[in-house]
Amino acid sequence: MKLLNGLKVTHLPILCVALLSIQSPLLAEESNDFDKVLEEITSIATKTKLNADYVPGTVTVISGEKLKSLGITNLAEQNAFDTIVGSDSSTLSLRGAGSIYGSQGNKIKWMINDKPISAEIWGLPKLGTGQIVFPIPIDAIERIEVIRGPGSAIYGGNAIYGVMNIITKKGREGVFTTLSRMESNKFGKAVGGYGTFEKNDLKVSTIVSVDKSDGWNLPVASQSIGQQGNLPNASGGNLLMADATYKNIDFWAYRLEAKNDYARLQWDPTNYLPQDNTKPVQSNTHTMLGVQGKYDILPDVFLTAKAGLNHYTNRAEVVFFPASVLQNNPNNLDGVRTIDYTESTKYAEATLETTQDSHRFLGGIYAGILSIDQDNVTQRWNSGSYADPAVSTHLITINNPKRINKALYLQDEIQMNEQTTATIGARYDTYSDGRSALSPRIAFVHQYDDSNILKAQYSRAFRAPSLSEQYSPNNQSPYMEYKSETADTVELSYIFKTNSSSFKTTAFNTKTYNMITYHDFTYETINLESPTTVNGVEVELTKNYKKVDLGANMSFYRSHRGEVKLTRSGFTLNYDPSEFALSANLLANFYATINSDTPYPTTFWYHYTGKKNRVNNALLDANGNIITIYTTNGSVPVQDYVNVTQKINDVAKNLDLEFGVKNIFGKTLKTLYFPLNPPDTYDVPYMGQTFWINMLYTF
């Protein structure tokens, strides 16, 4: 059966016990299309393999094949996650969390093949250090699993607005290549492959890929200086992933290197633009090593033990200057930025699973130690010698900071009757710097009949301040101890399913306490004193006809940021409550695949991102009197695009061909990363039009 492809024989007892214990209401819906059923199977919500519609909370599963049909060829692309319900790729946020004032990716728990991946400088908008880029080709991706909303009860910190788990292909063999052309004779190319080696009890799966893109011509203006030019956005990536299984032991060794111009992208509009060329100037590299064993220690009791090492580096060397300086005196430069950052995380985790009558218990312990090994950042804007910069700053201003995280979690899935299950669980985390967090959740899933499913859940999530936030130059001296931010979420879901259609909707309310963010005017890191809220409704629709498949998802969000107060030099800077900056009220996707039951399907994808407010435009004094109104601040306007993809299966034996146009109308898509406060309110371009072709040969 295809449903069991890729599952190791040693996993079958665990899977069988899980399926028997949860009984028929939680089994995947019967279907002749086993690939579709497999696409819906996920373990992200409870660490138990279930159909995504029957797990507690709100979960989305999207296959790599689906992503490719929409024109996404690599997860490093600027719109790679746009198709996911409630996701905004340009700010790497979920559920209306916005950018600097809520997310920018550091409040999502990221995983690759169930292994955590993170960096303490993720989410930092200043100096071009905080990018999150995964150079993984879509041809190598099996699926992406997403929890929309809190996931700390089993995953710990950073899972405030969601959890994303990228699952790569194993047990298959193939090679692929992608060629693309952007405007103005700029090009992209990629090549890679995946394969499997098996001998006796040893099985090894590998993925290798290399890609490079010249980017687009993205016109931008330096607001204060008045300089015009193109913002560099070249990119590239190298990927090497190896997973090995020997009997009941799993090993992994991953290396992901993303090359880009993010350090140039995060330039200050009051200064000169960086040099425009097609060579990336920054690389960030994740190395992940680990081992995992699974054991039957008692009848119906299973132990999973895991240990790993994650290593992350960020390197950049950027020059900012006008063209006249470049031509006449390249050694007397106007702007310099260098980044030299390294961190390591060592962790171990043990999990026990057992089934007793109508209860399925899951419990575990976790311990990890994070260390910052290098944290140098140099930036200077005035003329002078490149080799002897005038100003040197550090991301973290204490020597070799470390943090130890310990956690204990327990979960009980209860089969209350044939139609209803309850999931009750909690996780307790402690940190060596005195912080702790309790993350409970309780959820119910009720299958009214074969077509109707109801869900309800309360869950709490948390995030301790990153070391780069706690000890960054934006902090005051002596250093302020930031509180951990916590988020309480209540959500209700309804699912209606038939053989040819589905309707899924979720309404939720999230209230976040002690949100860690930046002050609108000074850009200092602060804890918001009053709670922030996000309310939302998410809708997913599908309808399948004989030759046409239709789909849509829409997310409606309303955010409310707490009041901001900051006193400096005896003067109080107050802002009234407002929406999160760069949080869209409406995100939507519409899909149509024509000739879906033939070897040559054509897919159309329309993506819509509603307008985003920048910041509240009134600056008040301590008495509430208006000091200044920023009439030019406004909002980032609506952004939308259309992708068209054509696939031809078996154009030659075992060879599939896909090609298409991304952003078919050639719009220059824009957002605003940083800074936000006036007068620097120019929108930053991030994507243009691309023609592409991909070939995949499977063995």
Omega before 679 cis (within 30°)? yes
What percent of the chain is modeled with pLDDT above 90?
A: 58
Instruction: State the DSSP string of 128-149.
Output: G--------BGGGEEEEEEEES
Q: Are 129 and 105 in contact (CB under 8 A)?
A: no
Pairing of the two strands 162-168 and 109-112: parallel
Is 332 among the domain residues? Answer: no
Specify if 336 maps to a domain: no
| CA angle at 114 for the pair 108 and 117, rounded to the nearest 5° | 50
3-state secondary structure at position 5 = coil
Return the number of other C-beta atoms located less than 10 Å from residue 481's C-beta.
Answer: 12
Amino acid at site 8: K
**Tokens read off for 451:** 């077509």
CATH of the domain at 507: 2.40.170.20
Strand partners, 260: 282
Provide the token pair at 590. Answer: 């519409």
Phi, psi (rounded to 5 degrees) for 535: -110, 145
Model pTM score? 0.90
Average pLDDT of the residues in 533-538: 96
- Would you state the pLDDT for residue 279? 86
Average pLDDT over residues 402-411: 96
Report pLDDT digits (tens) over 574-622.
666 778 888 899 999 999 999 998 999 999 999 999 998 876 555 666 6
Mean of the per-residue pLDDT values for the chain?
84
Are the CB atoms for 521 and 619 separated by under 8 Å? yes
Cross-strand pairs, 95: none
Residue 436 forms part of a structural domain: yes
Number of H helices, E strands in the chain: 7, 46
What is the tally of structural domains in the chain? 1
pLDDT of residue 36: 39
Helix H segments across 91-191? 152-155
pLDDT of 126 > 80? The answer is no
Q: Is 599 exposed, middle or buried (0-12, 13-18, 19+ CB in 10 A)?
A: exposed
Q: Which amino acid is at 264?
A: R
């980032």: which residue's tokens? 636
> For a pLDDT cut of 70, what percent of the chain falls above it?
79
Would residue 241 count as lying in a domain? yes
Q: Which of 68, 45, 64, 165 is nearest to 108 (CA)?
A: 165
Rounded CA separation 489/506 (Å): 12
pLDDT (0 to 100) of residue 168: 96
Does residue 155 come out as left (phi exceeding 0), alpha (psi in the -120 to 50 range) or beta?
alpha
Distance CA 447, CA 451 (A): 8
The token duo for 376 is: 């140098």
The pLDDT value recorded for residue 479 is: 66
Write out the E strands in 332-401.
Answer: 332-333, 335-356, 359-380, 384-385, 392-394
pLDDT (0 to 100) of residue 564: 75
- Higher pLDDT among residues 668 and 580, named by residue: 668
Question: 40-44, 61-65, 202-206: lowest mean pLDDT where?
Answer: 40-44
Using alpha carbons, select from 127, 433, 472, 78 the residue that is nearest to residue 258: 78
Distance (Å, whole) CA 118 – CA 477: 27
Alpha-carbon span 192 to 168, nearest angstrom? 14
Mean pLDDT over 99-109 rounds to 78
Q: Which range is least confidently modeled, 176-190, 268-282, 322-336, 634-648? A: 322-336
Looking at the domain assignment, is residue 22 inside a domain?
Answer: yes
Distance from C-alpha of 128 to C-alpha of 350, rounded to nearest angstrom: 37
Q: Residue 480, SS3?
A: coil
In three-state form (DSSP H/G/I as H, E/B as E, the rest C), the secondary structure along 609-671 is ECCEECCCCEEECCCCCEEEECCCCCEECCEEEEEEEEEEEEEECCEEEEEEEECCCCCCEEE
Scanning the structure block, which residue is given the tokens 């218990």? 361
Going by C-alpha positions, the residue among 388, 309, 384 that lies closest to residue 345 is 309
């080696």: which residue's tokens? Answer: 197
Confidence band for 527, pLDDT divided at 50, 70 and 90: confident
How much is the pLDDT for 127?
A: 66
* Chain mean position to CA 454: 27
Q: Is the confidence at residue 431, as pLDDT, over 70?
A: yes
pLDDT at 46: 66
Structural domain of residue 549, as residue ranges? 2-223+233-327+342-698
Distance from C-alpha of 592 to C-alpha of 546, rounded to nearest angstrom: 13
Q: Tokens standing for 546?
A: 């004989």
Instruction: For residue 568, give the DSSP letter.
Output: E
Query: Contact at 8 Å (CB) between 361 and 353?
Result: yes
Asked whether the predicted pLDDT for residue 311 surpasses 50, the reply is: yes
Domain-located, residue 247: yes
130 found inside a domain: yes
Higher pLDDT, 332 or 669: 669
CB of 538 closer than 8 Å to CB of 505: yes
CB atoms closer than 10 angstroms to residue 650: 11
Distance, in Å, from the CA atom of 387 to the CA atom of 379, rounded to the nearest integer, reads: 12
Q: Does 525 fall in a domain?
A: yes
- How far is 541 from 586, CA to CA, in rounded Å? 16
- Given 3-state DSSP classes, what are the helix, strand and coil percentages for the chain, each rounded to the nearest 5? 10, 55, 35
Q: How many residues does the chain have?
A: 699
Using the 8-state DSSP alphabet, how is residue 584 labeled?
B
Q: What pLDDT shows up at residue 387?
A: 45
- CA dist 142 and 213 (Å) reads 24
Are 347 and 368 contacting, i.e. CB atoms less than 8 angstroms apart?
A: yes
What is the residue type of 15? L
End-to-end CA separation in angstroms for the chain: 19
* Adjacent-strand bridge partners of 470: none
C-beta of residue 432 within 8 angstroms of C-beta of residue 404: yes
Other beta carbons within 10 angstroms of residue 638's beta carbon come to: 12
